Amino acid sequence: MSEAGASKTRVAIVTGAARGIGASIALRLAADGHDIAVIDLDALACSETVRGIEALGRRALAVGADVADETAVEQAVADVTAALGPPTIVVNNAGILRDRTIGKMSLADWDLVINVNLRGAFLMSRAVQAHMRAAGWGRIVNLSSTAALGNLGEANYAAAKAGVQGLTKTLAIELGRYGITANAVAPGFVETAMTAEVAARVGMTFEDMKQQAIAGTVVGRVGQPEDIAHAVSFFVDERSGYVTGQVLYVAGGPRG
């Protein structure tokens, strides 16, 4: 940290951290001085993130787990605790898209997106909060999205990300007495492999999609994973203990 004594080393869990925004968050929190458990569906896919964390001089652990699976989440948290110590920071970043307009959206599309994006945040927060309560300190940061305000073809994703905001505010109310804060970061368009895949699915070039996003903001650029990581770092900081129940839109000043 930039200020001496501003932070102590904590054990953090970052879900969906094999790549993109999650990987950037994991690396930023490692740079802030924390040990990091990187959770994704495939532990091997987390290897690059783990190497980056270790290069920063912090301990790292890759865990393969489906965040929508209750048993898998409980086992993952137990594995993290055994290897690194009790986690008192969790960043619920894992998420997926299955974009279709409502007439074409299957129940499987709906359930999968709700389960990973919303159920996963609930399960992980529930599993980790006991360690936070025991420590008398904790930080929960959930990833929402500007899609929570509604977005064409994303009824499932919008509902999940709006639900994440309600979950976050309720966790803040319930856990504040234990020294635990709960906040959400809601990104706008961020340049990642996942958004590139979205462009390919809808038949756009990624450059055209980025230009469309730029036209819809006031800052004249698209977001980068590091922009989101900076916001998460603020919420996790020891000095942010009076900030809870907040939703921070990191979206470049959307027009309209």
> Which residues are catalytically annotated?
157
**Nearest residue to 62 (alpha-carbon basis) of 74, 51, 73:** 51
Residue 151: count other Cβ atoms within 10 Å of its Cβ: 14
**Nearest residue to 90 (alpha-carbon basis) of 58, 123, 136, 68:** 123
Q: Is 13 in contact with 77 (CB distance < 8 Å)?
A: yes
Cα separation, 192 vs 225, whole angstroms: 7
Cα separation, 219 vs 16, whole angstroms: 27
Helix axes 70-84, 120-135, angle to 10 degrees: 40
**Nearest residue to 48 (alpha-carbon basis) of 21, 27, 67:** 27
Tell me whether residue 109 is exposed, middle or buried, using C-beta atoms within 10 angstroms of its C-beta: 0 to 12, 13 to 18, 19 or more: middle
3-state secondary structure of 71: helix
Counting Cα atoms < 13 Å in the Cβ hemisphere of 46 gives: 26
Residue 121 vs residues 95, 144, 164, 199, 206: alpha-carbon distances, Å: 9, 10, 7, 26, 29
